Each structure stands twice: as C-alpha cells, then as structure tokens.
Structure 1
Amino acid sequence: MTRKQTEAMSYGIIGLGRFGSALASTLAEGGKEIMVLDCNEEKVRKMRQLTEHAYVVRDLQKETLRDTGIQNCDVVVVCIGDKVDVSILTTLNVINLGVPQVVSKANSPEQGEILEKIGAQVVYPERDMAVRLAKGLISKRVFNLFELNEAVDISELKLNASLSGKTVLEAQLRNRYGVNIIAISRGDWLTTDITPDYVFHEGDTLVVIGEREKIKRLADALGR
C-alpha cells in the first residue's frame, strides 16, 4: 500500500483487540482502504476477509513497522491500550515514520497525557461511550447513537433548512435513503406518531433507524 496507489484516505490499525477489530471492520464496511497489524495470527487471518493488507508482526519496532509499509497510510490508529509501554513506544515509532495523523487508544488520563505529549491524538473508548450515554440519559434521549448490530444503527439527526416546510411524504426519506423515522423532537416536545402529513421544521431532531451507511448518506445530505 502506497499513497500513490489511491487518492482515497487509507487507514492503518495496529492491534486487533475488540476496539481495533471493530474499528477495522467498520472502516472496511465503509469502503475504506485499511492495513491491519497484530502479533496474533488467528486475528490477522480473520481480517484477510476484509483487506489484503493484513500482516502478522513479530514486534512493533520501527524497522518492523517500516517493512509493512504502514508509514504510507494517511491515518494510523494504535489500539494497544492495555500495555502502556508498548502503546507509547509504538505510537512514537509510527509518528517518527512520518504518518500524517496518529491516533492512540488510552485507558487512563496519565497514559493519554504521555501520548498527547509525543504528538498523538488520544481517544478513550470506554470513557467516551460512558459520556455519550450519560448525556443521552440526562436529556431523556437514549437514542443519541445506538448500535443494534454490526450494520444497523439508531441515530439522531438534526434537520437544516433543506427539509423545512416539507412533509414526511414529500421528503421521501425512506425511498431516497432507506431509513425509517421512529421519533421526532423539538425542544422538550417529542412524538413517535409519525404521519405522512407531518411538516418538518428547521431544528427538528429525527430519530431514525437504518443501515449505518444509509444513515450516513442522509446525514451528509443534511450537511451534518
């Protein structure tokens, strides 16, 4: 994999635990070009169904990483939160290889602070999910973003002016995007009784259910 082979963004994932595997699968399902690395041959073998760039590595030293070509990815995500020393060293090696954007998973603020200081963007998967759930519960909306399975989501979408004044029937969201509206809210008001003659208002929030990619298409169309 080289940057000259494709104009599309390419993504490298180091570590195929639950977080890394889910990330790789989601990116691949979204049509993205990915490269995955792990020391576990069985995990790598499963990923070869999604990408031809799946490699078993004996270690994560700089030269080993260089040999895989991961430095040619536009974004590399280091998904090694549990082994702090390996996480930090691998992140540093990837940054030193010249990858434009490096994201690292952290399991603690201390680990995250070190990763940020060496130049990585840090994510806290467990904490971020907890914060998202808490915000949803506080606002009495538990469907802020809910994954039903690997392909189907329930998501909130904020309407802009493009649908304002149109009815549900006129908008044809189901026919055009393949998603179903299950609730509409505006401020403290919420309804699940969605009729074809309901008129959309700018600022309405739709709770929709559908395939992840179809929801994304609708969100893109709404300029989100």
Structure 2
Amino acid sequence: MARRVLVIGIGSFGSALVEALHRQGAEVIVIDESAAAIESVKDLCAHAVVADGTDPRVLAAVEATSCDSVVVSFGEDFEASVLAVASLKKLGVREVAARATNQRQSDVLLAIGATRVIQLEIEGGRRLAEELVRR
C-alpha cells in the first residue's frame, strides 16, 4: 500500500519533494495558498487544495490524521511553520517533518512536536562533502 504524504507549502523544496514522492509511488496531498503553486503540481497529486495550510479546519478537511507523514515546507515564513506544526500536533498527527532555516528555529519546531526538522543548507553541505570525499 502506498504511503500517504501531505505536503504543506509548495515552493522550490515542496515542489521537488512532491515530484520525488510521486516518482516513488506515494499518494501525495498538497496544500498551498497560491493557485499557481497548486497548478504546477496538481497532476502529481491525489488531492491538491488552494487553502491556508496552518488552518486546523483545512487540515482536518484533507484528513491530515490519516496521512503517514506530513511535511511543513514553508521557507522563510517561520510563524506559518509554527502554526502548522502546532495545528497538526493538536489534531493528533504523529509524524510531522518541518523545514527550518537555522538551529534556533529547529529547536522551537522540535519543542512543539515536529518529529523531524530539515535544514536544507546544512544537510546539503553535509551530503556534498560526503560525495566529494567518496570520489
């Protein structure tokens, strides 16, 4: 059975994530306030919604609690990330990954219930270093 993944926020990271999840056979659901962002990924998704991904009513409507994983992929909008993670945890979502731009944000997201935090610049730098050393 395919894993069901909700992605909230469709920027560069969110779009790449949706494409990769689709290629790997996941059932992908997306939420973003931008109709253009939703339009760019809708063909890769089981369900695509133009809405506020921090709104608990929206999260309940897309059945976030039935997802195997939820990824909060807001870039620079830390407040939106906090609101989304808090809403998801209050609904009872178990696995919530969130994007942070620095360690302080990472610490806050973990403190409010995110089960994984992604810092793209740090993880990308480490991955590149590993690839360079293995050559």
TM-score, structure 2 length as denominator? 0.91
1:180-199 equivalent positions in 2, closer than 5 A: none
* In structure 2, distance between residues paired with 1:65 and 1:96: 11
CA contact (8 A) 1:35 1:70 kept: no
5+ residue gaps, structure 2, are none
2:76 matched to which residue of 1? Answer: 82
Amino acid corresponding to residue 91 of structure 2 in structure 1: L
CA contact (8 A) 2:100 2:118 kept: yes
CA contact (8 A) 2:27 2:46 kept: no
Larger RCO, structure (CA 8 Å, separation 6 or more): 2
Report the CA distance shift for 1:67/1:109 in structure 2 as closer, same or farther (over 3 A).
Answer: same
Q: Give CA deviations for 1:96-151 in whole Å, capped at 9, x if unaligned.
A: 111121000110100000001112111111210111112333x252xxxxxxxxxx
* In structure 1, distance between residues paired with 2:53 and 2:98: 17
- TM-aligned CA deviation for residue 59 of structure 1: 5.5
Q: What's the C-alpha RMSD, in Å, of the aligned pairs?
A: 1.4
Query: Which of 100, 122, 127 is residue 122 of structure 2 equivalent to?
Result: 127
CA contact (8 A) 2:75 2:100 kept: yes
Give the secondary-structure state (helix, strand or coil) at the position aligned to 1:48: helix
Q: Give CA deviations for 1:175-222 in whole Å, capped at 9, x if unaligned.
A: xxxxxxxxxxxxxxxxxxxxxxxxxxxxxxxxxxxxxxxxxxxxxxxx
* In structure 2, distance between residues paired with 1:136 and 1:118: 34
TM-score, structure 1 length as denominator? 0.57
- TM-aligned CA deviation for residue 18 of structure 1: 0.4
Query: Does 2:131 match 1:136?
Result: yes
* In structure 2, distance between residues paired with 1:134 and 1:49: 35
Give the secondary-structure state (helix, strand or coil) at the position aligned to 2:71: strand
CA contact (8 A) 2:110 2:117 kept: yes
Give the secondary-structure state (helix, strand or coil) at the position aligned to 1:49: helix
5+ residue gaps, structure 1, are 1-6, 142-224
Structure (1 or 2) with the greater strand fraction? 1
1:209 matched to which residue of 2? Answer: none
2:98 matched to which residue of 1? Answer: 104
